[in-house]
Amino acid sequence: MISRYFVVILIVLSAVTILSIPKAGLNLIVPNSVASQAENSTVISDMPYPVPESGFVEAPQISAISAIVVDNKTGITMYEKSPNLRHLPASTTKLMTALVALEQCSPGDVVKVQNIEGEGSQMGLEAGDKVTVENLLYGLLIPSGNDAAFVIARNCGSSYEQFMAAMNRKAKDLGMANTHFINPAGYDNQLQYTTASDLALLARVSVANPIIARIVKIKSTVVTDVTGTRTYYLENVNKLLGTVPGVEGVKTGETDGALENLITKTTRDGNSVLVAVLGSRDRFGDSKGLIEWSFQNYKWAGSGR
């Protein structure tokens, strides 16, 4: 009888012990909740992060079929609309072209132009021009020169094919799971695609590069070839630069298939948001609306907890 009671007591004690064990792996995250993202992020413990204002209102309607708003420092998503929908990237591709170029070439490297890609927007290169990689990046990112994109891809690597492979490898390394490139300019092709979510990842990495960050915020400039005799007048396609407070780039894109794409970085009071819109019929209007909405409906909580 005593042994039977002893066994019962052991079973009860074991059950109590099991119930008292902390459930360490069960941090539930409420989808699309900024507060939940903040609570479950170890990255933001020492920096401000966005939280909704008390009078929070829904984001404005936009024409874009896909969009996302992300806090640049923490990566917290503040707004999304079909963020993982695959779409033609158009010239937003050139951000990846620039990143890979700076990994495989030095800014001061001199490239001799041989073949010219004459379709679409142009930097103004001609066969025989000798131009630094840095000035090619100006032509790539400011007027969105397709000629500059192909010159870079053919010269900043052992081959054009190797450069394209490096672009896709970089996308994979960054976690851009729904992105693939087959050309460096952004020409429409069913095998060339991305998402708003992936572009936000790409933009965060791109603007962390000081050369790219400096170039994409320039409204207009003039660069030359290495001899100083060939001049290239460059105008930025992004109409929000200089018109919307705090806008610092990042990259436009437009083709017949893609419609209008735009990635924008905006900084106010030390806080930055990245907006990506894809498949828009008014990329500047859509982006401006989301930018203003973001800063009106979010505040940034103090650093640390």
The encoded tokens of residue 39 equal: 């609570």
Residues 173-207 have pLDDT tens digits of 999 999 999 999 999 999 999 999 999 999 999 99
Catalytic residue among 73, 81, 94, 217: 94
158 is catalytic: no
Catalytic residue among 66, 144, 287, 294: 144
Sequential DSSP letters for 150-206 = HHHHHHSSSSHHHHHHHHHHHHHHTT-TT-B-SSSS----TT-BB-HHHHHHHHHHH
Sequential DSSP letters for 31-67 = TT-HHHHHHT-STTTTS-EEEE-TT--PPPP-S-SEE
Catalytic residue among 66, 91, 206, 280: 91
Residues 136-146 have pLDDT tens digits of 999 999 999 99
Question: According to the model, what pLDDT value does residue 34 have?
Answer: 55
- pTM, two decimal places: 0.85
The encoded tokens of residue 133 equal: 């990689």
Q: Which fold has domain 63-301?
A: Beta-lactamase (3.40.710)
Q: Which residue, chain included where needed, has tokens 């009106």?
A: 296
Q: Residue 190's CB: how many other CB atoms inside 10 A?
A: 10
Question: Is the separation of the CB atoms in 83 and 196 below 8 Å?
Answer: yes
3 is catalytic: no
Domain boundaries, the chain: 63-301
pLDDT range class, residue 13, cuts 50, 70, 90: very low
303 is catalytic: no
Distance CA 64, CA 285 (A): 10
Q: Which of 95, 117, 100 is nearest to 238 (CA)?
A: 95
- What is the share, in percent, of the chain residues with pLDDT greater than 90? 80
Q: What is the mean pLDDT of the chain?
A: 88
Q: Which long-range contacts (CB under 8 A, 24 or more apart) does 190-193 make?
A: 192/88, 192/89, 192/93, 193/86, 193/87, 193/88, 193/89
Q: Residue 122's CB: how many other CB atoms inside 10 A?
A: 17
